[in-house]
Amino acid sequence: MPSDTQKGYALAVIAILMWSTSEIVQKLWQRLGYQPLTLGFFRYFVGAFSILIIMTFQKDFKGMGGMLRRNWKLFLISSAFATAVGNYIYFVGMQLTQANIGSAIYTSYPIYVTIYSMVILNEKNNMRRKIIGLVLGFAGVAILVTNFDLTGFWRDENFLGNILVLIGSLTWSLYSVIGKKIQRCEAALGVTNADVKFNFLSMVIAAITSGIPLIFLPEGATLFQYSIDGWTLILIMGFITTGWGFYVFFLAVKKIEVSQAISLAYIKPIMTIIFAFWLLSEVPTPALLVAIPVIFASIVIINWHAKESKNPFCRPEIAIVPPNEL
């Protein structure tokens, strides 16, 4: 039987594969002539519904009110700010820079997740090895998406977009770390299926936050007027990429460190290239042959003989308080 660690890595890989559909969906969405910011709203709106389906099968809605009351400040940071606002900043930034340069900058988020994990979750095992692996992984991603041409980072016409994409990556990186902190604390209080309930509440808050700007934008007036192809892309982004993708990821981080699981995100650009070749007929560049071994080497370095930190995420004295129910 596979160990919990092996199950954690397997779940993380599945989650990354689900996330890898994101750029393809965004590109197809833009080809249909729709605005990217509306897709940001629907990914969380439909994502919340996808998590609601899981909760319905589990027949467990208890404790969500208490979870939100106890952690409302963390939810504002992780869901309203890190998820919704971070995604909004990322979309705007991508409109102001080259797609490949922006992707390289955004895919640096495993570095920031590891740093946040050190501070918030006290995940400090094998830090020297992790830092080396993260830097190596980012180098591989940069080679992959820029094809050895890094001059686009500093061009005046790309600079503002690059800064916004970087801010979006730094912001979003808080989500998974704070999410694990909330789930661990709630599980210690006796809340069942804390991961599912956290994901549902997060998606609802992110959808509300993402929907507010649309009230003041022209695309808000045509928010539900899409073709069948458009609705198909919305469902893929909401169910697969966002709702179930994040749910599977948090199942993974119940078994391994966040920094270990997120390091597998470095394979996401490789999967995106494969999907792009398959669905969009985009031919991969020779840089892929160099980037793939570099990226896989970084993942091996980060996760070699890594053990999860045993430090508590919550204060022991609050673990005896019974969870509040809805």
Cα–Cα nearest to 314, from 130, 202, 190: 190
**What's at 225, amino acid-wise?**
Q
Q: What is the pLDDT of residues 228-272, one digit of tens each?
A: 999 999 999 999 999 999 899 889 988 888 877 877 776 766 666
Spell out the long-range contacts of 64-68 with Cβ–Cβ below 8 A and sequence spacing 24 or more: 64/197, 64/200, 64/201, 64/326, 65/324, 65/325, 65/326, 66/191, 66/323, 66/324, 66/325, 66/326, 67/182, 67/186, 67/191, 67/194, 67/197, 67/198, 67/201, 67/323, 68/201
Using CA atoms, how far apart are residues 142 and 32, in angstroms rounded to an integer? 29
Stated pTM of the model: 0.77
Q: What is residue 313's DSSP assignment?
A: S
End-to-end CA distance of the chain: 38
Under the banding of pLDDT at 50, 70 and 90, the label for residue 217 is: confident
**Pairwise pLDDT comparison (176 vs 292), residue with the higher score:** 176
- Domain spans of the chain? 4-308
Q: What is the pLDDT of residues 147-204, one digit of tens each?
A: 666 665 556 667 788 788 888 888 988 998 999 899 889 989 999 999 899 999 999 9
Q: 274 Cβ partners below 8 Å, 6+ apart?
A: none
Angle value at C-alpha 96, between 95 and 98, nearest 5 degrees: 85
DSSP characters over 269-294: HHHHHHHHHHHH-PPPPTHHHHHHHH
Task: Please report the pLDDT score of residue 48 as a whole number.
Answer: 96
Task: Please report the pLDDT score of residue 322 as a whole number.
Answer: 34
